[in-house]
A and B are shown apart, each in its own frame.
Chain A
Amino acid sequence: MRTGADIIIEGLLRGGVKTLFGLPGGQVLDIFDKLAKAPLEFFLARHEQGATHMADGYARATGRAGACLVTSGPGATNAVTGLATANMDGSPMVCISGQVPSPLIGNDAFQEADTAGITRAVTKHNYLVKRVEDLPRVMVEAFEIATTGKPGPVLVDVPKDIQQARCDEPFPSKMSRRGYRPDNEPDVQDIERLAKAIAAARRPMFLVGGGVVGGDASAEFAAVAIKSGVPVASTLMGLGAFPGSEPLALGMMGMHGTVAANRAASVCDLIVSVGARFDDRVTGKVSTFAPHAKKGHIDIDPSAIGKTVLVDFPVVGHVKIVLRKLLEAVEPVARPEWLAQVTDWKTNSPPTYDRASRELLPQYVIEQIAAVTHGDATIVTDVGQHQMWAAHYYPYSKPRSFITSGGLGTMGFGLPAAIGVKAARRDQPVVLVSGDGSIQMNFQELVVAVEHDLPVVVVILNNGYLGLVRQWQEMLYKEEYSGVRLGRDARHNNERIPAKVQTPGPYRPDFVKLADAHGALGLRVTGRDEVAPALDKALSCGRPAVIECMVRPTENVYPFVPPGKALGELIQGLI
């Protein structure tokens, strides 16, 4: 008879897992014992948060469930941020956690935590397995739930005695749960109504979101947009779903959205969200969002419809199936004035910066990454200003080429996620764009890239600040800078930035030495001319590389719609 640990390994293999990320501990030793002989590549993360983001990155790159394995107590609580990150962005993941032996549960045993209780609100579903006979079914369900409907993370908490217990219970061939019906067949009439509304609209637009990327429906979406001649704005998560080079592409909408996307939203008479959930960072002030527009919404999740914005034309169903049917129903309609208007905004007010500056500017670095990689790299980001610059200045032409923590906004996501992406795409360049704040949250995982020979390129846009917070303090808190300074004298943290900020002195930590200490190539770039050669060197050196770019400390992200304002009230910055 096989043990619970055997069943877990077999369940992972049946779930299509080839790569497992994790960290051992007392309550998962039985699983690690079986793992040694299993046909799985194991990545030993240095922190469980790292393991979860690696699994998440792997999932976002492949569309398959990422898998991770952590121990009880602190192992599981460390995984919480990674689960919440995946949950917010609908990323499929299965996380196995060890638990103290069943008789000790509830006794405040060593390394005990109520993992099922703690993770309930940050997973799509979770299990505490109480009988070894349930394990085969639970493993099948975990992968099914993680990858179907709106994908998400599933946690399976397994007490040590259950890992050791034996049983012959077979794996069910498929999941059968009366409470789980992820495949809503779209209503044909809903689709026809939406198609008619699109045809009748004089100033329609699409808002494409992460659901189109996750639902592998980019080709179907492009066909609908092009046939109907409707311009397309994107959410952060939707970047890459519709090629940025298309004439109809307006770029990102929302708080840091483009002039074209945000102005279009302010005047359009129909906005159709396709796999986007009208997040508050996209809508701005909800009561003034697209004030002249009827709203359409295609989503696999019925609870996403009407959540923040009242919808006139809802369609519930898998986006790929809905779009195929919508393609037949939509009519080509010429709207020369509307297209001329959005094209004018797009051409005359693109996101821009001081290109003539002799200082090294962060936007320039992103453009250089685009030039050196010919726009073909997978870009992973952390969270902050660099994330917005990476969104604006790199031309994403393919789905799953821009990987970022959108919903939860998890600083520290980038490096482990990039390792997960590279593990899935060894033959393609993977560039992490990070900031000096975010990168320090999970820098320890760099050694995993070195050990596994995964030559990710880490570009740190070092501005010596928690930059997006600094920008908010500058623009919304009367320049009262507080707790945002990095790398220099921490005593300055509550002082105003001097009027003329000099190039920072010795920055701590020294990222070049830190890279070297981890066995990666470390480079520092201070001038514009050094960027492309450094990128070339990093991309061709065959090992992980860190390029620290000393950029202008006070550069801001524009456009900017202050929180609580309407999208039309955007601050354009440099015009």
Chain B
Amino acid sequence: MKKHIITALVENNPGVLARLVGLIAGRGYNIETLNVGPTGDPTVSRMTMQVPGDNRVLEQVTKQLAKLVDVIEVTDLTSTPHFNQECLLIKLTSTQEQHEEIMSLAKRFGGNVLAAQPDAVIVQLTGDARHITDFLALLAPYKVMDFSRSGIIAMAKGGRS
């Protein structure tokens, strides 16, 4: 099943998230990632969701989201050229000598080491899903203590909003 990236501008009201998520969950679809954040306008929030599903069904879901009174605009970016980015935070158990390896790996991927303690390092990395998956594959030899991904945010390329 194709993963759809649905992005919506919504009123910054209580209950809006529940309305959108409820509409999707009520149809039996799983939201794989979800990101909610402020925009330049304090009354408006931006939501970005990744939902795997059949094209026709997701078209329906998008239309029904658009019907919600609290939804100002909704776009399925899947078939539009777009950028998507995600942030990863990962805490690894590491000995002093592994610190070096991890730091150079992070540097190669454009990530940052946020903290290096005697027995652990915390790495932050931003990139598209592929970039993050590749990085994680190389971390396989290390023991992961904690792990968090932000879920993707996305933006259409070119002049359209």
Contact = CB atoms under 8 A, between A and B. Distances in A.
A533 interface: no
A179 B64 CA distance: 12
A117 interface: yes
A542 interface: no
A177 B15 contact: no
Contacts of B59: 306
B138 interface: no
Nearest to B16: A179
Which of B11, B60, B67, B72 has the most chain A CB within a 10 Å cutoff?
Answer: B67
A130 interface: yes
A180 B66 CA distance: 9
A116 B15 CA distance: 9
A120 interface: yes
Which of A116, A179, A180, A303 has the most chain B CB within a 10 Å cutoff?
Answer: A179
B63 A303 contact: yes
16 contacts: A116-B15, A120-B18, A120-B19, A120-B22, A121-B22, A121-B23, A121-B26, A125-B68, A125-B69, A178-B72, A179-B10, A179-B11, A179-B68, A179-B69, A303-B60, A303-B64
A117 B18 contact: yes
Interface of A: 116-117, 120-121, 124-125, 128, 130, 141, 145, 177-180, 301-303, 306-307
Interface in B59-78: 59-60, 63-64, 66-72
Contacts of A141: 69
A179 B72 contact: yes
A139 B72 CA distance: 21
Contacts of B60: 303, 306-307
Interface string B49-65: 00000001001100110
Interface string B89-106: 000000000000000000
Contacts of A128: 14-15
Contacts of B64: 303
Nearest to A308: B60
B14 A130 contact: yes
A352 to B, nearest CB: 40
A120 B69 CA distance: 12
B45 to A, nearest CB: 12
A301 B66 CA distance: 11
A125 B11 CA distance: 14
A342 B18 CA distance: 50
B56 A306 contact: yes
B69 A177 contact: yes
Given A117-B18, A130-B14, A302-B66, A179 B56 contact: no
Contacts of A121: 22-23, 26
Contacts of A177: 69
A117 B21 CA distance: 12
Contacts of A179: 10-11, 68-72
A404 B18 CA distance: 32
A145 B67 contact: no
Contacts of B23: 121
Contacts of A301: 67
Nearest to A117: B18
A195 B14 CA distance: 45
Contacts of B15: 116, 120, 128
B132 to A, nearest CB: 33
Contacts of B18: 117, 120
A128 to B, nearest CB: 7
A178 B13 CA distance: 13
Contacts of B11: 179
A303 B66 contact: yes
Nearest to B11: A179
A50 B44 CA distance: 39
Contacts of A145: 69
Nearest to B43: A178
Nearest to A307: B60
Contacts of A130: 14
A178 B69 CA distance: 8
A38 to B, nearest CB: 28
Nearest to B70: A179
B69 A180 contact: yes
Nearest to A301: B67
A125 B26 CA distance: 16
